[in-house]
Amino acid sequence: MHPFRQAVEARDAAAIEALLADNVVFTSPVAFKPYPGKAITAAILRGVLRVFEDFRYVKEIGAPDAADHALVFETTVSGKRITGCDFLHLDADGKIDEFTVMVRPLSGAQALAEAMAAQFAQIQAEAVAQIEREAAAAEHQAAGA
């Protein structure tokens, strides 16, 4: 079982974030532009954990030592059943540097878009706060060096 799958199924946001590369790019099934960076990707995934109901992975595709993995899932959002797939690419360090999600049917994608739009102010605030904490920690470390 892929470590990302284990972290998601455990609903362990810290473990999920630890698997993301700093330069990860998240491509949403309901937004045109990709989201670059660990802070925004982690915040989006926390938002997803809040809106997905009865989430479960049903299939995992990819050899354990491969760089590319596909994790097929089923969930419900606002009463709409969704089938989707997380496409993950791992960098040389085994961290997720590309994360693309696709979902079907259209009614499920629309429900997901609405639910995530309602989360987006919180998602942005979480990402900004994380970036500010990391910058402060880097400044503190540089000052002590």
Non-local CB neighbours of 112 within 8 Å, separated by 6+ positions? 29, 30, 51, 77, 80, 82, 103
Q: Return d(Cα 83, Cα 70) in angstroms, integer.
A: 13
| Predicted local distance difference test score (pLDDT) of residue 84 | 97
| Predicted local distance difference test score (pLDDT) of residue 145 | 63
Residue-by-residue pLDDT tens, the chain, 145 positions: 789 999 999 999 999 999 999 999 999 999 889 999 999 999 999 999 999 999 999 999 999 889 999 999 999 999 999 999 999 999 999 999 999 999 999 999 999 999 999 988 888 899 889 888 888 888 888 887 6
| Predicted local distance difference test score (pLDDT) of residue 85 | 98
> How many CA within 13 A on the CB side of residue 43?
19
Helix axes 38-51, 106-144, angle to 10 degrees: 140
